[in-house]
């Protein structure tokens, strides 16, 4: 029998890898019916919520948690497998016995879970199209280094935008400076217990849904105060711009505000020495009615590009997720903060009579001791401030 033609074998290998990539692309581009899309989105939201609540009883939630916490694993199944073993199966060191290997979660199972999470649910996706075929030792060593590199600390930002049709457009939210999966789950438990004993407790907290007569004002105050008392390393930050002073479409203005919201917040945290570089940002924004995937991609790209220009590799966007407030109590907290600001800047100077919404707005301002800064809108890109209040800040550009 003649010698094997190695070039043919290599060609077969290349064809196989190409077929794998084509299969992934087909998954990405596959059209869905509206019903299929709703069902997929529902499952994706449920998985995302489980990850944020720290529920890791299942293989897919464990894999999703690794993809969430370690962005480098999104591009490398080898790095993903190693991080999974280190996190959930107590693998230490660089050597494994064959007997131990048989007891660990298989790469095939981890990879299938990763593919479902990224391709079907569109969560924690790879930043670039990545081939799993490694051609040389240098690339293999690079993957090993990735798997052993400690991740940069994560800052989680939960934000809401408001005032699109008013004088001031506002982006505001709550920042959590360290991983704390208990915050959202503690809020979920608090609401569940309150619902059992208090008929005024809503299933979701939204500033605009607060009744003007104050019937449910007490539970809104208690919900917000419970978060403050149990939030650990959390703070509130917001930026507001008089939009009539900017000759831009509203979406462009809001894109700028998302970035300036992060820039001014990061500067504050650095000067107060609560953080140091490197850092990675996980940004959750309240999902708007009719919001398109393209719109989210635009915001994500604008943040990514701005971070690279301003901070190089010291600050990176881990990912940006548009979240239905029904799945996140943290987004509801951000909604109450942004709503209080909107009430103060856009409503109270035009109304003649006060109601419960004004009382809640004043309560939040007083509870947080919001520190307010006023600037000229032309200085939006260049402002640097000395902040005294570590709990809450509001930057107003007139």
Q: What string of DSSP letters covers 124-179?
A: S--SS-------SHHHHHHHHHHHHSPPPPEEEEEEEEE-TTSSEEEEEEEEE-S-
Q: Give the pLDDT of residue 138.
A: 54
Q: Give the pLDDT of residue 11.
A: 55
Q: Please indicate, yes or no, whether residues 124 and 169 belong to a single structural domain of this protein.
A: no
Q: Give the pLDDT of residue 246.
A: 86
CA 334, CA 342: separation in Å to the nearest integer? Answer: 12
Q: Please indicate, yes or no, whether residues 319 and 362 belong to a single structural domain of this protein.
A: yes
Tell me the mean pLDDT per 10 residues along the chain, length 398: 47 52 53 73 81 81 88 86 91 79 87 87 72 49 60 88 94 86 84 95 96 96 95 91 89 91 91 88 90 86 90 88 88 97 92 91 95 86 70 90
Signed CA dihedral, 45, 317, 84, 114: sign only: positive
Query: CA dist 201 to 65, 210, 230, 356, 358, Å?
Result: 31, 10, 20, 15, 19
Give the residue numbers spanning the domain of 344: 154-397
Q: Look at residue 319 and tell me if it is in a domain.
A: yes
Of 98, 121, 148, which closes a domain? 148
Encoding tokens for residue 244?
């009539």
Encoding tokens for residue 14?
């290349």
CATH number at residue 227: 3.30.420.10
What is the reported pTM?
Answer: 0.74
Q: Look at residue 35 and tell me if it is in a domain.
A: yes
Q: Look at residue 257 and tell me if it is in a domain.
A: yes
- Edge-to-edge strands, sheet with 392-397: 315-323, 279-286, 154-162, 168-176, 234-242, 392-397, 371-375
Q: Give the pLDDT of residue 91.
A: 86
Nearest to 320 by CA among 340, 295, 345: 295
Long-range contacts of 17-24 (CB under 8 A, 24+ apart): 17/131, 17/132, 17/133, 20/132, 21/129, 21/131, 24/115, 24/119
Q: Please indicate, yes or no, whether residues 295 and 387 belong to a single structural domain of this protein.
A: yes
Q: Look at residue 298 and tell me if it is in a domain.
A: yes
Q: Please indicate, yes or no, whether residues 285 and 189 belong to a single structural domain of this protein.
A: yes
Q: Give the pLDDT of residue 95.
A: 76
Q: Identify the three-state secondary structure at position 286.
A: strand
CA 344, CA 366: separation in Å to the nearest integer? Answer: 12
Q: Please indicate, yes or no, whether residues 204 and 98 belong to a single structural domain of this protein.
A: no
Angle at alpha carbon of residue 273, lines to 261 and 396, rounded to 5°? 25
Q: Please indicate, yes or no, whether residues 352 and 246 belong to a single structural domain of this protein.
A: yes
Of 98, 114, 148, which closes a domain? 148
Q: Please indicate, yes or no, whether residues 112 and 13 belong to a single structural domain of this protein.
A: yes
DSSP string for 204-261:
S--GGGS-TT-TTHHHHHHHHHHHHHH-SSEEEEEEEEEGGG--S-HHHHHHHHHHHH
307-358: pLDDT as tens digits: 999 998 899 998 888 888 988 899 999 999 999 999 999 998 887 789 999 9
Q: Please indicate, yes or no, whether residues 216 and 126 belong to a single structural domain of this protein.
A: no
CA 207, CA 365: separation in Å to the nearest integer? Answer: 14
Q: Please indicate, yes or no, whether residues 21 and 170 belong to a single structural domain of this protein.
A: no
Q: Identify the three-state secondary structure at position 279.
A: strand
Of 119, 148, 177, which closes a domain? 148
Q: Please indicate, yes or no, whether residues 314 and 249 belong to a single structural domain of this protein.
A: yes
Q: Please indicate, yes or no, whether residues 252 and 360 belong to a single structural domain of this protein.
A: yes
281-310: pLDDT as tens digits: 989 999 988 888 888 888 988 899 999 999
CA 371, CA 368: separation in Å to the nearest integer? Answer: 9
Q: Look at residue 1 and tell me if it is in a domain.
A: no
How many domains are there within the chain?
Answer: 2
CA 117, CA 47: separation in Å to the nearest integer? Answer: 9
Q: Look at residue 175 and tell me if it is in a domain.
A: yes
Q: Please indicate, yes or no, whether residues 120 and 203 belong to a single structural domain of this protein.
A: no
């Amino acid at each position: 029998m003649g010698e094997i033609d190695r070039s043919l074998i290599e060609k077969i290998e290349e064809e196989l890898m190409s077929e794998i990539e084509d299969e992934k692309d087909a998954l990405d581009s596959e059209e869905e019916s509206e019903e299929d899309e709703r069902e997929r989105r529902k499952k994706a939201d449920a998985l995302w919520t489980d990850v944020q609540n720290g529920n890791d009883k299942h293989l897919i939630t464990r894999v999703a948690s690794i993809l969430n916490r370690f962005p480098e694993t999104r591009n490398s199944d080898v790095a993903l497998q190693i991080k999974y073993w280190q996190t959930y199966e107590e693998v230490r060191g660089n050597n494994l016995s064959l007997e131990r290997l048989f007891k660990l979660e298989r790469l095939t199972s981890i990879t299938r879970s990763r593919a479902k999470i990224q391709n079907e649910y569109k969560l924690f996706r790879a930043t670039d199209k990545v081939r799993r075929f490694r051609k040389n030792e240098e690339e293999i060593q690079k993957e090993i280094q990735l798997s052993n590199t400690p991740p940069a600390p994560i800052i989680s930002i939960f934000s809401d935008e408001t005032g699109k049709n008013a004088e001031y457009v506002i982006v505001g939210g709550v920042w959590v400076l360290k991983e704390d999966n208990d915050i959202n789950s503690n809020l979920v438990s608090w609401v569940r217990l309150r619902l059992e004993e208090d008929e005024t407790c809503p299933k979701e907290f939204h500033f605009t849904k607060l009744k003007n007569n104050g019937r449910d004002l007490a539970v809104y105050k208690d919900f917000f105060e419970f978060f403050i008392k149990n939030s650990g390393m959390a703070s509130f930050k917001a930026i507001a711009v008089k939009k009539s002073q900017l000759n831009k479409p509203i979406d462009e203005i809001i894109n700028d505000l998302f970035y300036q919201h992060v820039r001014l917040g990061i500067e504050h945290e650095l000067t107060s020495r609560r953080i140091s570089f490197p850092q990675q940002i996980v940004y959750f924004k309240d999902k708007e009615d009719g919001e398109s995937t393209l719109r989210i991609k635009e915001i994500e790209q604008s943040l990514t590009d701005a971070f690279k220009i301003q901070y190089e590799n010291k600050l990176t966007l881990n990912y940006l997720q548009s979240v239905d407030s029904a799945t996140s109590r943290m987004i509801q907290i951000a909604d109450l903060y942004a709503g209080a600001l909107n009430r103060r800047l856009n409503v109270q100077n035009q109304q003649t009579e006060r109601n419960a919404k004004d009382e809640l707005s004043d309560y939040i301002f007083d509870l947080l001791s919001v520190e307010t800064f006023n600037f000229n809108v032309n200085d939006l890109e260049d402002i640097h401030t000395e902040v005294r209040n570590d709990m809450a800040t509001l930057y107003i550009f007139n």
